[in-house]
Amino acid sequence: MELPAAFKTKYERLLGDQFPAFLQSFTDTPQHGFRINPLKSPAQLDVDTSHPIPGIQLGYYGKVSGKSPEHQSGYVYNQEPSAMLVAEAFNPQPGERVLDLCAAPGGKSTQLAGMMQNQGLLVANEINRSRAKVLVENLERFGVWNPLILNETPEHLSKAFPAYFDKILVDAPCSGEGMFRKNPEATTYWNEEYPAECALRQRDILTEAVKMLKPGGQLIYSTCTFAPEEDEQIIAWLLDEYPLEMIPLEKQAGMSSGQPAWANGNPELQDAVRLFPHLFAGDGHFIAKLQSTETAKPTKIRKQEASASGAERKEWQQFAEQNLTNFQAGPLLRFKEQLYSFNPEIPALNGLKVMRPGTPLGTLKKNRIEPSYGLAMVLNPEQVQRTIALSDDQWQKYVHGDTFATDQIQAKGWALLVYHQMPVGFGKVVNGTVKNFFPKGLRFQA
């Protein structure tokens, strides 16, 4: 990889004696990592857990194939090791109201949901429509319960959620310098002015994020760049402009402190964390945690009301009685042709660009419900009256979208398909054949 000359000159000046090792790190093989999903029921996983990532719950060095059963079923999520540390610094608690403002593709959102144990409210937002669709897929596959997934601008969100969230994550769009090793193409659009241009956008995003932070709430800011313009200088600006104070982050081996000299000299900036690839086994990252010192009362908002009709609620009840055991949905919301369970804490959705208002339970058909893939992903086998244990060949047929025969169930009806104890979706048994309901957009050749 050929780094831009101006980039090398800049960091030789900033890093001094460390620059040769820093430069050498760009020739090293990028680190890979994956996390095991704590939201799923116990299963037999064929993954290598012999190389745990220090400080990451259920995080391991290595990579799991995207075409493996563990990945398809949402039991594992591939994520760069440094990126995992952001959620650990965020440290969300069960029951909190949490916003991931720039959430796609969903790595940090899925990690937050796991740490929250699916309790509380997770709002995951992505301004780019195509990336928001990927966010939906990953949260659904991971079995996140009742997330609110939006495709909104920060400006519009701040009007819907004034002083609302306990914690907000801004994993900001940035110049991506820390990802050059993983994505060498990023070096082609880097120039000396690019970090400053990104910083302007980051300030706009943070201006709206602060409006959504409730008094005493916490704001976590992270980037995958080394640029002081987007890191220490952004935090210095936040501390000057808003009633915020730094929360010191614990530093493990290989982690560096923020550099006050790279901004306005504020010693609080040392409380941030820098991850350099020549010191830490991961890509470049910056993480800072701030807390609101506001004392005003949180703003009340008008909440979303359940909108399913009496007939639709009855259809769901009949489906649940016939197919499920010990499963309790939340309030029911009809959204387009889908019936959803949703978190009653969410605001009224009128005017918001909603990708998912909660967990999809099923598609409303004439006098019946066709269960959704999203429902299958939040269930464990003990919550379903009928399951089919798939062979290797049957799983491959399922993910390819094919029908297959079964002798495990004779009566017509729905069954949860399970592979090595991992729920992978619903099938409908008709005359000894399992009809395939794996979403067409997710199908692949295993």
- pLDDT at position 297: 76
81 is in an annotated binding site: no
pLDDT at 300: 82
The phi-psi region of residue 342 (left if phi > 0; otherwise alpha if psi is between -120 and 50; otherwise beta) is beta
405-427 residue pLDDT tens = 999 998 999 999 999 999 999 99
Spatial neighbors of 170 by CB under 8 A, at least 6 apart, are 101, 102, 202, 205, 206, 209, 219, 220, 221, 222
pLDDT of amino acid 72: 97
The answer on whether 126 is annotated among ligand-binding residues is yes
pLDDT of residue 367: 85
Where in the chain do CATH 2.30.130.60 domains reside? 386-446
Angle at 335 between CA 321 and CA 164, to 5 degrees: 105
CATH of the structural domain 5-26+81-292, one choice from 3.40.50.720, 3.40.50.920, 3.40.50.150, 3.40.50.300: 3.40.50.150
428 is in an annotated binding site: no
Determine the Cα–Cα distance for residues 426 and 25; give it in Å rounded to an integer.
46
Q: Give the pLDDT mean for 210-236.
A: 97
User: Tokens at residue 311, please?
Assistant: 């007939």
pLDDT of 311 above 80: yes
The tokens of 235 are what?
A: 């935090």
| Residue range(s) in the chain whose domain bears CATH number 3.40.50.150 | 5-26+81-292
- Residue 378: per-residue pLDDT: 98
**Is 80 exceeded by the pLDDT of residue 202?**
yes
- Per-residue pLDDT at 295: 85
Residue 104 assigned ligand-binding role = yes
Residues 190 and 4: their CA atoms lie apart, in Å, by 8
Q: Which of 89, 144, 170, 224 is catalytic?
A: 224
Residue 299 has pLDDT above 80, yes or no: no
Assigned fold of 386-446: 2.30.130
Assess whether pLDDT exceeds 90 at residue 244.
Answer: yes
| Mean local confidence (pLDDT), 101-112 | 98
The reported pLDDT for the residue numbered 120 is 97
Q: Please provide the average confidence, as pLDDT, over all residues in the chain.
A: 96
Residue 160: band (very low, low, confident or very high) from pLDDT cuts 50, 70, 90? very high
DSSP run (H or E) holding 422: strand 422-430
In this prediction, residues 135-151 reach a mean pLDDT of: 98
* Stretch 390-404: mean pLDDT: 98
In angstroms, the CA 408 to CA 331 distance is 34
What SS3 state is found at 377? Answer: helix
Point out the least confidently predicted range of 198-212, 298-312, 323-337: 298-312
Give the per-residue pLDDT at 402: 98
DSSP summary character for residue 52: B
Task: Confirm if 434 and 412 have CB atoms less than 8 A apart.
Answer: no
What integer pLDDT is reported at residue 1 of this predicted model? 80
Stated length of the chain: 446
Strands (E), 24-158: 33-36, 59-61, 76-78, 97-100, 121-125, 148-150
- List, for residues 269-297, the tens digit of each pLDDT value: 999 999 999 999 999 999 999 999 998 87
- Say if residue 216 carries a ligand binding annotation: no
pLDDT at position 307 over 80: yes
Number of Cβ within a 10 Å radius of residue 5: 8
Question: What Å distances lie between residue 92 and 96, 112, 218, 219, 269, CA to CA?
Answer: 7, 6, 10, 11, 22
pLDDT in tens, 427-439: 999 999 999 999 9
Q: Is 198 annotated as a binding residue?
A: no
How many C-alpha atoms does 409 have within 13 Å on its Cβ side?
Answer: 21
Of 342, 255, 339, 353, which is closest to residue 305 (Cα–Cα)? 342
Taking the C-alpha atoms of residue 276 and residue 43, their distance in angstroms, rounded to an integer, is: 36
pLDDT of residue 296: 80
328 Cα distance to chain centroid = 24
Say yes or no to pLDDT of 266 above 90. Answer: yes
Say what the pLDDT of residue 292 is.
97
Whether 66 has a binding-site annotation, put simply, is no
Token pair 């104070």 in the structure block, residue: 245
- DSSP H or E run through 428: strand 422-430
108 labelled binding-site residue: yes
Instruction: Kindly report the pTM of this predicted structure.
Output: 0.97
Active site (annotated) includes residue 224 = yes
Dump pLDDT digits (tens) for 355-376.
999 999 999 998 899 999 999 9
Phi, psi (deg, nearest 5) at residue 254: 90, -10
Q: Is the pLDDT confidence value at 12 over 80?
A: yes
Per-residue pLDDT at 51 exceeds 90: yes
